[in-house]
Structure 1
Amino acid sequence: MFFTGSRLFYDRYRLNSPKGNFQLKLTPEQVIYQFAGDIAKVFPIFNQLPHKFKLNFSKRVLNFLNQYAFVEKENVQLTNAHKVTVAASYIKLTLGYRQYLINTFDKVVVYPTAQYFPHLDETHTGHFNPKRNAVMLALDEFEHDIYYNNDGKDLALHEFTHALCFEMLQTYAKHPDAERFKKGFRLINEWMAVPQNKAKIVQSGFLRAYAFTDRLELVSILIELFFEKEAVFKQHFYDLYVYVGGMIKHPKIK
């Protein structure tokens, strides 16, 4: 039997079946009307965007809610507004991608507060578990981080970045932006490997100590700072700022 047809059809990136369990049936216009204030908690410029950009962002939020399930644990009180806000956090991170949904998780598991994870023998406010295809978040920490949205910490961004790394850094990753992501990841780590660069960033206190745990924690914390400490990041560590933004194809990085 002869092979016919484009090889790209078989190699292209395709999403797994949707698992979403969001109950409201909304249009992008209705998302703007009902949840603009909630989206602005994680994406402060949302209300200043032209309407067509708001519609695009809201459509992406709805697609996230259709693709991924929310799982409530320990009697957590999770509202529709919480779910939209979590979705908006992810959409903010992946705004530069055309293929912005990924397959390394299919659910967001939400606890009321920090949890002990036996397989890690540690207590965490958030965790990405690729074996369970789950991003786990503590609601109290998530709410704290979006309320204090310029303190350099954002739990949802951090854990979603771990999921994105797991997707993009696979040896045979099929995501259309995987090579760009890998290049950015390499440039970040090469920058950090230069002794004077590392000394400067350590002495500045710009990175919290946890960033030096490993390369994945470093990247997740740099993503948090890219969004929450943009002005300082851009002023003092411009090359690193460009590498981080370029890795996720952020629209601000040309």
Structure 2
Amino acid sequence: MIVPFLIGIPTALLFTYWGVNLTDLAYSKIYGKPLIVYDHIYFKKLRTEDIEVIKAHSLFYTKLSAYKKRVFRHRVVMFINDKTFIGLNGFEITREKKIMIASVAVMLSFGMRTYLIACVNKIIIYPHAYFSEINRKYHLGEFNPLLKTIVFSWEDFIAGMNNNTNNSNLGVHEFAHAIYFCSKYSNDSSSILFTNGIKKIDKLLHSESYIDKMKNTAYLRGYAYTNKFEFFAVCLEHFIETPKQFKEAFPQLFGIIKDMMNFETSEA
């Protein structure tokens, strides 16, 4: 059967496309990481003032090599162009705010070749905690897979960005949910490695002794034990904000998440 989107593409390019992807999948199975992560040929550019916003709010970006900073900036542009940003309850969407949100998403998907988090089309932002008509409660943020939407309280999003050592980061938490969901329905090498990591985490969560050990340390906040989805999201907040402590406290879990994300912060 001819796949419609491939019509008109030269045969040699098709073989190259499929060959590279098959090689990437084989490599990832052997070595536990993608063969190809940064396959960009052309790089989109940001304005100087945009780059200053990233520098001011992304410690992750400042630690990258010159080439990877270029990749990061390109991905920020691509992410912004791919999403619809909506402000509600009088919230004004600005270029700076888009850059800040995109920087969090790009950081989390930086070790992945497929980085746009395709299960998110819209990003809705309220100025403060907002009331949900669905469950009649106030929320700080949420990910809705059916609507392909992430929602943030800007006040709480900013609070997470401004304190990078308290292991509470709303942007990281909600994008973690989205990446988790996306991986279940994708078959690229990064998603396969991610879902393999989730299976390993699930095994740990079935060990009562391991869970008891984690609870006794009180390193993860209690919300982590709500369900496996919240557990991963909370763990990712810790992985980003206090990696050294995480690695020392739970090296096995830290290693699994590092392999899933395919990067490790320089502070670990």
Q: TM-score, normalised by structure 1?
A: 0.83
2:96 equivalent in structure 1: 81
Check if 1:243 corresponds to 2:227: no
Q: How many angstroms apart in 2 are the aligned matches of 1:237 and 1:60?
A: 31
CA gap 1:117/1:2 in 2 versus in 1, 3 angstroms: closer
Residue 176 of structure 2 corresponds to residue 164 of structure 1: no
244-253 or 59-68, larger mean C-alpha shift: 244-253
Equivalent residue letter for 2:51: A
CA displacement, residues 181-222 of structure 1 (integer Å, 9 cap, x when unaligned): 111011112122222221111011111111111110111111
Whole-Å Cα distance in 2 between the matches of residues 94 and 52 of structure 1?
A: 17
Whether the 8 Å contact between 1:96 and 1:251 is mirrored in structure 2 is no
Are the aligned partners of 1:95 and 1:251 in contact in 2 as well (CA < 8 Å)?
A: no
Give, in angstroms, the shift of residue 240 of structure 1: 0.3
Contact 2:85–2:93 (8 Å) recurs in 1: no
Aligned match for 1:198, one of 211, 216, 219: 211
What is residue 221 of structure 1 aligned with on the other side? 234
Tell whether 2:228 aligns with 1:211.
Answer: no
Match of 1:96 in 2: 111
1:200–1:133 distance in 2 versus 1, CA, 3 Å: same
CA distance in 1, matches of 2:2, 2:85: 45
**2:145 maps to which residue?**
130
Note the C-alpha offset of 1:168: 1.0
Question: What is the deviation of 1:117?
Answer: 1.3
Residue equivalent to 1:188: 201
- Return the alpha-carbon distance in structure 1 between the equivalents of residues 265 and 165 of structure 2: 18
Compared CA separation, residues 85 and 28, structure 1 to 2 (3 A): same
Q: 2:125 is paired with a residue of what secondary structure? A: strand
| Aligned-partner residue type, residue 91 of structure 1 | V
Structure 1: runs of 5 or more not aligned? 13-26
Q: Per the alignment, do residues 73 and 55 of structure 1 end up closer, same or farther by CA in structure 2, a change over 3 Å counting?
A: same
Which residue number corresponds to residue 133 of structure 2? 118
Secondary structure at 2:59's aligned position in 1? coil
Preserved CA contact (<8 Å) 1:41 1:147: no
Q: Can you list the C-alpha shifts for 1:115-148, whole angstroms capped at 9, x where unaligned?
A: 1212233221001111211100010001111011
**Mapped partners of 2:264, 2:250: distance in 1:** 19
- Give the number of equivalent residue pairs: 234
Other-structure match for 2:190: 177
| Alpha-carbon distance change, 42 to 157 in structure 1, aligned in 2, over 3 angstroms | farther
Q: Which amino acid aligns with 2:190?
A: D
Q: Tell me, in whole angstroms, the C-alpha distance in 1 between the residues paired with 2:82 and 2:201.
A: 31
8 A Cα contact 2:240 2:265, kept in partner: no
- For structure 2, which runs of at least 5 residues remain unmatched after alignment? 22-42
Q: Is the 8 A contact 1:89 1:156 kept in 2?
A: yes
Summarize the Cα distance change of 1:52–1:118 in structure 2 as closer, same or farther, 3 Å threshold.
same
Q: Give the structure-2-normalised TM-score.
A: 0.79
User: Residue 33 of structure 2 aligns with which residue?
Assistant: none
Equivalent residues of 1:110, 1:136 under 8 A apart: yes
CA distance in 2, matches of 1:49, 1:102: 21
Q: Which amino acid aligns with 2:93?
A: L
